[in-house]
Amino acid sequence: MPTASVLREYLIAYQLRSGRREGLVFGSSGTRPFTPSRVRRRALTAWKTANKKRKDSEFSQLEPIALHECRHTFASLMIAAGVNAKALSTYMGHASVTITLDRYGHLFPGNEEAAAGLLDDYLAKAVVPAT
């Protein structure tokens, strides 16, 4: 899965601090993945800590998000960056590009006007006028 270089730097630093030189960056061990319930508990603790620090802030309290919402954010950012649907489908682990398009199709660029314009341009170049 592609990883942005800014995130890669944090992951490498975390991996070095954890003492793991290979295997999973996160998890119970380098070979055993984390359990979702433990991640959720740790995330809620982090949200609570962040909100305590913000309580005197002019900003409202942060609302917790779950891992699944992070998947949606990843997909949305990839689409905004211009990644094609087939590649995104692979990165997301979807069984078919249809699943990706059903879920995220509304985020891909283009609309009916743009599509009609593309078709008009193509036909104008492809059709030779009769003489």
Q: Which residue has the tokens 């913000």?
A: 54
What does the DSSP assignment read for 96-122? SHHHHHHHHGGGSS--HHHHHHHHHHH
| pLDDT tens profile 57-109 | 656 677 888 888 989 999 999 999 999 999 999 999 999 999 999 999 999 87
Residue 80 vs residues 27, 75, 76: alpha-carbon distances, Å: 30, 9, 6
Nearest alpha-carbon partner for 63 in 76, 51, 45: 51
Is 6 a residue whose pLDDT tops 80?
Answer: yes
DSSP for 28-45 reads SSSSSPPPHHHHHHHHHH
Domain ranges of the chain: 40-51+62-107
